[in-house]
Amino acid sequence: MNEEHQHRLYREAGEQFARPIARLARAMERDPDRARDLEQDIHCELFRSFARYEGACSLKTWVYRVAHNVAAEHRLSHGRKPGTVTLDEIEELPSSGDAEHDAAESHAIARARALIRQLPTLDAQVMLLWLEGETGTDIADVTGLSPATVATRVHRLKALIARSLAQPHTEGTRHDQ
């Protein structure tokens, strides 16, 4: 692939997917500076990856695979792994945290993001892709899971978030009562 084609693919991807990439970075990283760093890392790797892109999958699938792989690697390399729990172990919705950071977002979105941050990386990726409006098949293409597994995870994650958001939020209060 020539360099001109690589630049064209990157521009096209940027025009179509810059906002979802930014949302992914903010969802995976609470600190605004680290979220910007993650977003930049995704864009850098995305540009590099277009030298290998052969069109075997759609541009959207390629961009989301690269973005979610970089985000997963970021999460692992920055010690974000501690604190994740399985879906069955989540009993309490985390607090929304820094009020200044969350002021621009609704309380429910902040709480949902906090919950997503606690999920294992693959579950967080599935939920974020679903929230972006991706189909089960597209999510399966990006994550490597089967469509049936994606459907099951999405169902469980939606139910978990709905239950958590339906409970009045008081720090330190269990949400399984």
Q: Report the 10 Å Cβ neighbour count for 102.
A: 18
pLDDT in tens, 120-177: 888 888 888 888 888 899 899 888 899 999 999 999 988 887 887 777 655 444 434 3
Q: How much is the pLDDT for 113?
A: 75
Q: Report the 10 Å Cβ neighbour count for 78.
A: 14
The CATH class given to the 1-82 domain equals mainly alpha
Q: How much is the pLDDT for 101?
A: 43
For the chain, percent of residues with pLDDT exceeding 90: 37
Q: What CATH number is given for 86-177 in this structure?
A: 1.10.10
Q: How much is the pLDDT for 90?
A: 58
Q: How much is the pLDDT for 52?
A: 92
Chain region(s) in the chain for CATH 1.10.10: 86-177
Q: Give the angle 51-74-3 at the CA atoms, nearest 5°.
A: 15
pLDDT in tens, 59-75: 999 999 999 999 988 88
Q: What is the mean pLDDT of the chain?
A: 80
Q: Answer yes or no: is pLDDT of 9 > 80.
A: yes
pLDDT tier, 77 (very low <50, low <70, confident <90, very high otherwise): confident
Chain region(s) in the chain for CATH 1.10.1740.10: 1-82
Q: How much is the pLDDT for 99?
A: 46
CA neighbours closer than 13 Å in the CB half-sphere of residue 119: 25
